[in-house]
């Protein structure tokens, strides 16, 4: 197994905003290299409990070794979307804080064999859980041009999605990342290849999100996380691109609402109650010092909300 090279993003911001104390029960739903978990374990101490969830066998093996002998650490192979089930199996009803660090880890990007990066020539894979069947090779070689274009547009927001899809189909079979790069670069006009990020960036993001089903369950996962929190407990989520950020912001804002009646209604007749309050009015981003040390933190945004006690509405209509 390749050595883990992991710099947790927004570490100071995460630890301070989660308001951690000794003896707390915390979920790290995206364990990765364990950088955030190490700092969490220091804060909650041996009397606390950290449930570290990840679907990547390499990440779990690394963290089991890293935190070997720490009585507070409880590693679980699963997806953070299943955190309610994980807690039920562990006999845990409520927790005090939850962290989700979304997207692909530095280890996954840097591990050539995993096929996540367009910077290394390797077989197409992109699976976070290497035991699942669907991989990037299947998507690139078996889907129709229409299906590929839809994936690249919806998850990569690339304006050349149709043209890229057509060039991918035209150049099949495509077995390696550099072969995929070649097809993508041929599809994008020279003017646009010279400007902005690497031409393959958006397509790789789109395929990775599709292969690992990263966005579809995110809204439900956020709601599940809030339902697991004790009142006063906090949920922190780090996002890395606009699709993730939009889903996190929209869902947290919805959970903060105490009414969803039409704006023109004078009387509230809905049963919506406020479930959280936002701790971060604007997302926290990396400092200049962190960016110098870890350029991958450039797109990271941390949003944090706190569980509040529900205030029941009076029987019948309520004036807004």
Sequence-ordered list of residues with C-beta below 8 angstroms from that of 286, at least 6 positions apart, any chain: 9, 10, 294, 297, 298, 300
Instruction: Tell whether 37 is covered by a domain.
Output: yes
Instruction: Tell whether 207 is covered by a domain.
Output: yes
Is the Cβ–Cβ distance between 75 and 31 less than 8 Å? Answer: yes
* Chain segment 49-99, per-residue pLDDT in tens: 999 999 999 999 999 999 999 999 999 999 999 999 999 999 999 999 999
User: What is the domain count for the chain?
Assistant: 2
Query: Mean pLDDT for each 10-residue chunk of the chain (320 residues)?
Result: 71 97 98 96 98 95 96 98 98 98 84 90 95 97 98 96 98 98 95 84 96 95 98 98 96 96 88 96 96 92 97 66
Same domain, 123 and 86: no
Same domain, 275 and 300: yes
Beta strands in the chain (DSSP E): 25-28, 49-54, 73-77, 95-101, 229-239, 267-268, 276-278, 301-307, 318-319
- Could you say which of 172, 197, 212 is where a domain stops? 212
Same domain, 68 and 191: no
Same domain, 98 and 245: yes
Same domain, 156 and 206: yes
How confident is the model at residue 4, as a pLDDT?
A: 58
The domain of 153 spans 113-212
Same domain, 158 and 97: no
Peptide bond into 266 cis (omega under 30): no
50 has which bridge partners?
Answer: 26, 73
> Distance between CA 202 and CA 180 in Å, rounded?
13
How confident is the model at residue 111, as a pLDDT?
A: 85
Same domain, 44 and 193: no
CATH number at residue 179: 1.10.150.170
Instruction: Tell whether 6 is covered by a domain.
Output: no
């Amino acid at each position: 197994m390749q050595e883990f090279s992991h710099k947790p993003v927004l570490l100071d911001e995460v630890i301070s905003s989660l308001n951690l104390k000794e003896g707390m029960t915390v979920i790290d739903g995206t364990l990765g290299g364990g950088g955030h978990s190490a700092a969490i374990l220091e804060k909650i101490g041996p009397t606390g409990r950290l449930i570290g969830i990840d679907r990547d066998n390499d990440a779990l093996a690394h963290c089991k070794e890293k935190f070997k002998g720490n009585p507070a650490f409880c590693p679980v192979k699963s997806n953070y979307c299943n955190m309610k089930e994980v807690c039920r199996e562990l006999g845990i009803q409520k927790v005090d804080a939850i962290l989700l660090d979304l997207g692909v880890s530095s280890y996954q990007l840097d591990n050539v064999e995993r096929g996540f990066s367009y910077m290394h020539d390797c077989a197409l894979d992109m699976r976070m859980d290497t035991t699942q069947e669907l991989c990037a090779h299947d998507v690139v070689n078996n889907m129709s041009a229409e299906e590929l274009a839809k994936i690249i547009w919806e998850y990569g927001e690339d304006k050349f999605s149709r043209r890229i899809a057509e060039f991918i189909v035209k150049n099949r079979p495509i077995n390696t990342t550099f072969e995929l790069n070649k097809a993508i670069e041929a599809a994008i006009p020279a003017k646009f290849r010279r400007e902005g990020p690497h031409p393959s960036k958006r397509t790789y993001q789109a395929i990775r999100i599709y292969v690992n089903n990263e966005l579809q369950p995110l809204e439900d996962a956020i709601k599940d996380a809030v339902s697991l929190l004790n009142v006063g407990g906090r949920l922190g989520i780090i996002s890395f691109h606009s699709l993730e950020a939009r889903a996190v912001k929209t869902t947290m804002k919805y959970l903060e609402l105490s009414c969803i009646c039409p704006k023109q209604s004078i009387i509230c007749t809905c049963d919506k109650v406020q479930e959280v309050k936002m701790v971060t009015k604007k997302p926290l981003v990396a400092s200049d010092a962190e960016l110098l040390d870890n350029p991958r933190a450039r797109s990271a945004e941390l949003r944090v909300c706190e569980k509040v006690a529900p205030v029941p509405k009076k029987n019948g209509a309520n004036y807004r």
